[in-house]
Amino acid sequence: TELLYARVDVIGGGEGPRLLELELVEPSLGWRQLGDDERGRQGRRFALGVESALERLGLGPFTKRRP
């Protein structure tokens, strides 16, 4: 089973979308049950999925956003 979990709270405003909260990992979903190598692979895959979702929301490249 594939699972991508992220919770993003976004509001719109005069200056465009604004990120209020970004929750990327829910420990109870089993990340700790994976071996080190698999956790690393899945973590990278997860990060790419979140970055893609942020792009679709117009929040720009994740690595270039500042709080």
- For 2-17, write each residue's pLDDT tens digit: 556 678 888 887 888 8
For residue 23, is it within any domain? yes
- Using CA atoms, how far residue 39 sits from 18, 25, 30, in Å, is 30, 12, 10
Q: Is residue 24 part of a domain?
A: yes
In a domain, 67, yes or no: no
Residue numbers in the chain where pLDDT is lower than 70: 1-5, 25-29, 60-67
| Residue 50 included in any domain | yes
> Is there a domain that residue 52 lies in?
yes
- In a domain, residue 53? The reply is yes
- How far is it, in rounded angstroms, from Cα 21 to Cα 39? 24
Looking at the chain, list the stretches that DSSP marks H as alpha helix, in order from N- to C-terminal side. 36-56
Q: Is residue 66 part of a domain?
A: no
Number of compact structural domains in the chain: 1
Q: Reduced to 3 states, what is the DSSP secondary structure of residue 39?
A: helix
- The single residue listed with the structure tokens 């465009």 is 16
Per the structure, the complete domain to which residue 45 belongs is given by 7-59
